[in-house]
Amino acid sequence: MNSLWPKRLLEDLVDPQRPITYGVVKPGDEQPPEGVRLIRGGDVLNGRINRELRTIAPDVSDQYRRTLLRGGELVMSLVGNPGAVAVVPPDLAGSNLARQVGLIALQPFAEARYVMYSLMAPDGKNALTARTKGSVQQVINLADLRRVPISLPPLSTQRRIASILGAYDDLIEVNRRRIAVLEEMARRLFEEWFVHFRFPGCGAGLTDGELPSGWSLVPLEQMLVLQRGFDLPSAARGAGAHPVIAASGVHGTHSEFRVRGPGVVTGRSGTLGTVNLVHQDFWPLNTTLYVREFRRASPAYALHLLRHLKLGAHGGGAAVPTLNRNHVHALKVPCAPPELIAQFEQHAMTTLVTAYNLERQNSRLAESRDLLLPRLISGDRTVTTAERELEPVA
């Protein structure tokens, strides 16, 4: 898409005292608690920086003072997630970068969030993709990154565009935090009632290994039945809205489904230990096990029960980890009275449905933002019109 604004090379937007470069080459194995936080390639994704960062020794960081962050710079993953870019928030000032991350410290006439969105727009992505190197692991070369063209409107317009697109991302982030809180509420309720046995009317404390009155220890198969998923080659998938579930989670969509939602799915081969609640009708792939029959367990209860069992630790296979459903079925689990499970299901499923609805809202917000992004960056959509359209969304 052609831009109405003049184009400048990315290197021309950068502070000449802080050229585009990469960070620490050999961070070492030491991770001191009071060390310097280190941003690696995998820590940059979807316009955000992971906050659970490893650390490096201060003397190692001092050797790479060129990439010590002040806050407000752009950082780009050069390896792993090549092209993923984010603005450094103020609270990460003093952190450093790994070799797999590039520093882009802009001059005052270039708004960092605007340049970030420019690099995330189709033209920016295409320019970066054309410059990735390597047949197996894609890598962005710094010399090529410096030559990426950026459409540059006046600074006031840059800020207005960044504000519009940022409003969508802010709403998405608020929803993400709400989703995390809701999911944590359901998890803690399960642990309180069914792990620590602190449920309504539980009475006096129990000794170690003792079950509450009316409870029993039963094989998992008495609670639910797991079944292997179904083959579905990528070439056989049709356009549709039914999620296709792989061992690691959602893996596209299909025009048909094999299981009615809500359902529970976990990895059978490859990725083990991930357990997902699927609200829609869905197609579980043959790398998964899905709950074919909810016997004493119900969907929200089954989700947390399987997560609590840490199924990844029960896998076999040297080359490709595999979960045998017969072994899992034999695991002994505490079985609560049906009325307590039903009470939990009512509370937890209400919470999880609210989280699911927020996820759907986020998908719509992201879709709207992604449609608007290239049109704003190119000047095809006026900023005033976009600001007016944003008002009902915000």
Give yes or no for a contact between 301 and 229, defined as CB atoms under 8 angstroms apart. Answer: no
Residue 214: pLDDT over 60: yes
pLDDT digits (tens, 9 = 90+) for 291-327: 999 999 999 999 999 999 999 888 887 678 899 999 9
Cα–Cα distance for residue pair 261/265, rounded to 1 Å? 11
Q: What is the pLDDT of residue 201?
A: 86
Instruction: Determine, yes or no, domain membership for 100.
Output: yes
Cα–Cα distance for residue pair 80/10, rounded to 1 Å? 22
**Among 114, 133, 152, which residue terminates a domain?**
152
At 259, the amino acid letter reads V
Copy the structure tokens of residue 129.
């993709």
Strand 263-267 with 288-294, pairing: antiparallel
Residues 140 and 220 in one domain: no
pTM of the predicted protein model:
0.84
Residues 134 and 221 in one domain: no
The mean pLDDT of 128-153, rounded to a whole number, is 81
Residues 221 and 315 in one domain: yes
Residue 385 has phi, psi (to 5 degrees) of -65, -45
Question: Taking all residues of the chain, what is their mean pLDDT, rounded to a whole number?
Answer: 92
pLDDT digits (tens, 9 = 90+) for 359-391: 999 999 999 999 998 889 887 777 888 777 776
Token look-up 């201060």 returns 58
Cα–Cα distance for residue pair 327/324, rounded to 1 Å? 5
Q: What is the pLDDT of residue 133?
A: 58
Residue 350: pLDDT over 90: yes
* Degrees to nearest 5, angle at CA 240 with 235 and 245: 70
At 172, the amino acid letter reads I
Q: What is the pLDDT of residue 329?
A: 97
Residues 229 and 103 in one domain: no
Least confident of 106-115, 138-147, 197-206, 320-329: 197-206
Of 154, 147, 126, 112, nearest to 5 (Cα)?
Answer: 154
Cα–Cα distance for residue pair 241/26, rounded to 1 Å? 46
Least confident of 6-15, 120-129, 230-239, 311-320: 311-320
Q: What is the pLDDT of residue 105?
A: 97
List of residues 6+ apart from 145 with CB closer than 8 A? 10, 20, 76, 78, 102, 128, 131
* Confidence label for 1 from pLDDT (cuts 50, 70 and 90): low
Instruction: Label residue 299 exposed, middle or buried (CB < 10 Å: 0-12, 13-18, 19+).
Output: buried
Q: What is the pLDDT of residue 134?
A: 55
Strand 36-39 with 96-97, pairing: parallel
- Domain CATH number, residue 233: 3.90.220.20
Instruction: Determine, yes or no, domain membership for 368.
Output: no
Instruction: Determine, yes or no, domain membership for 222.
Output: yes
Residues 14 and 143 in one domain: yes
Residues 234 and 128 in one domain: no
Residues 226 and 330 in one domain: yes
Instruction: Determine, yes or no, domain membership for 194.
Output: no
Residues 73 and 146 in one domain: yes
Q: How many domains does the chain have?
A: 2
pLDDT digits (tens, 9 = 90+) for 14-71: 999 999 999 999 998 888 888 999 999 999 998 999 989 999 999 999 999 999 999 9
Residues 148 and 250 in one domain: no
The mean pLDDT of 201-222, rounded to a whole number, is 86
Instruction: Determine, yes or no, domain membership for 186.
Output: no
Instruction: Determine, yes or no, domain membership for 164.
Output: no
Token look-up 């080459």 returns 25
Cα–Cα distance for residue pair 141/328, rounded to 1 Å? 47
Q: What is the pLDDT of residue 71?
A: 96
Residues 246 and 330 in one domain: yes
Residue 137: pLDDT over 80: no
At 37, the amino acid letter reads R
Indicate the angle between helix axes 155-194 and 338-378, nearest 10 degrees.
170
Give yes or no for a contact between 195 and 147, defined as CB atoms under 8 angstroms apart. Answer: no
Show the domain range for 308: 216-335
Instruction: Determine, yes or no, domain membership for 208.
Output: no
The sign one gets for the Cα dihedral 56, 57, 58, 63 is negative
Dihedral angle over CA of 177, 180, 181, 183, nearest 10: 160
Give yes or no for a contact between 151 and 119, defined as CB atoms under 8 angstroms apart. Answer: no
Residue 89: pLDDT over 80: yes
Residues 15 and 147 in one domain: yes
Q: What is the pLDDT of residue 167?
A: 94
* Confidence label for 136 from pLDDT (cuts 50, 70 and 90): low
Instruction: Determine, yes or no, domain membership for 190.
Output: no
What percentage of the chain carries pLDDT values higher than 70?
A: 96
**Among 122, 152, 182, which residue terminates a domain?**
152
pLDDT digits (tens, 9 = 90+) for 146-188: 999 999 999 999 999 999 999 999 999 999 999 999 999 999 9
**Among 98, 117, 152, which residue terminates a domain?**
152
